[in-house]
């Protein structure tokens, strides 16, 4: 229900679970048929949650040797979650109501991370498919190699993508900016924003589609594109090209400006 959760690499190669010492919270830790199961039961009454002064937060730390594991599933109401570097999971599914989520772990298949109120950060990882979602918070991705599709969905918050490669990229948002720096999709790039700017810095894809209601679309691409644009109120400055993939840009209120930074691609 309520705790900070951390998966950390054990320096001595041991396997242990450390639980915060909070009265009236019972922790159940067991290995069932090769599956590590951790469950916390809060037996406090409603009035026991009321306190004056500092109350230590519950925490749960899982120490495991670095290496490959099967599936990781975390479901929580309130607290921060961190998956440290050194782990590789077959798949990962993290769901949180209130709190920040940070992951440095690799995932062979699909990595799903979702929080209602909080930030999501994925850094230095190699993943299959990557799906990130937050209702109120920022999404930050850096130095990630995604073999499959990538999606980042926010309602209120900014999305910052740096040094990311993937097949297809989808990003949606209601209010917030989107920044793509050295982001390369081998397939399509599909972006939708209601309010917020979309900025490319050395990004590219086979085809690009951007739709914003209120916000500017600007930046640099890595290869020629055939531009198709539509804006109700805004300035348009795009390089004249007749070759390359299609870049379709639609804005209701916003400027559309762009240029090319280089003719070759660098994928990190």
pLDDT-wise least confident of 3-17, 42-56, 150-164, 181-195 = 42-56
**Higher per-residue confidence, 214 vs 138:** 138
pLDDT tens per residue, range 17-49: 998 766 667 888 999 999 999 988 776 555 555
**Please, are residues 124 and 105 in contact by the beta-carbon 8 Å criterion?**
no
What Rg do the C-alpha atoms of the chain give, in angstroms? 22
E strands along 99-138, which residues? 101-103, 106-117, 120-123, 126-136
| Predicted local confidence at residue 44, as pLDDT | 58
Q: What is the average pLDDT score of the chain?
A: 88
pLDDT of residue 169 exceeding 80, the answer is yes
| Predicted local confidence at residue 268, as pLDDT | 34
pLDDT of residue 264 exceeding 50, the answer is no
| Predicted local confidence at residue 213, as pLDDT | 87
Q: What percent of the chain has pLDDT over 70?
A: 85
pLDDT of residue 267 exceeding 60, the answer is no
pLDDT tens per residue, range 239-262: 777 678 898 888 877 667 766 664
Of 250, 259, 207, the C-alpha closest to 228 is 250
| Predicted local confidence at residue 25, as pLDDT | 74
| Predicted local confidence at residue 253, as pLDDT | 73
**Please, are residues 95 and 77 in contact by the beta-carbon 8 Å criterion?**
no
Q: What percent of the chain has pLDDT over 90?
A: 65
Q: Which residues is 225 bridged to in the sheet? A: 245
Mean pLDDT confidence for 69-88: 96
Of 126, 46, 116, 27, the C-alpha closest to 79 is 116
| Predicted local confidence at residue 249, as pLDDT | 86
């Amino acid at each position: 229900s309520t705790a900070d959760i951390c998966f950390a690499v054990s320096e001595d190669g041991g396997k242990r679970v450390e639980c915060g010492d909070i009265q009236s919270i019972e922790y159940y830790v067991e290995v069932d048929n090769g599956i590590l199961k951790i469950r916390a039961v809060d037996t406090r009454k409603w009035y026991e949650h009321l306190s004056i002064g500092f109350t230590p937060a519950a925490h749960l730390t899982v120490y495991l040797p670095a290496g490959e594991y099967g599936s990781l599933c975390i479901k929580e109401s309130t607290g921060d979650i961190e998956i440290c570097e050194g782990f590789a999971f077959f798949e990962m599914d993290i769901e949180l109501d209130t709190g920040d989520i940070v992951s440095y772990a690799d995932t062979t298949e699909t990595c799903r991370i979702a929080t209602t109120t909080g930030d999501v950060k994925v850094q230095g990882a190699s993943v299959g498919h990557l799906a990130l979602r937050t209702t109120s918070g920022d999404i930050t991705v850096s130095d990630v190699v995604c073999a499959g599709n990538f999606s980042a969905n926010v309602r209120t918050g900014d999305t910052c993508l740096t040094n990311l490669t993937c097949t297809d990229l989808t990003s949606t948002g209601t209010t917030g900016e989107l920044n793509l720096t050295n982001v390369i999709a081998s397939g399509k790039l599909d972006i939708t924003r209601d309010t917020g700017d979309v900025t490319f810095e050395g990004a590219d894809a086979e085809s690009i589609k951007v739709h914003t209601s209120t916000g500017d679309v600007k930046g640099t691409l890595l290869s020629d594109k055939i531009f198709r644009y539509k804006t109700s109120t805004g300035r348009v400055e795009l390089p004249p090209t007749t070759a390359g993939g299609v870049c379709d840009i639609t804005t209701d209120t916003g400027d559309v400006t762009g240029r090319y930074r280089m003719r070759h691609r660098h994928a990190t």
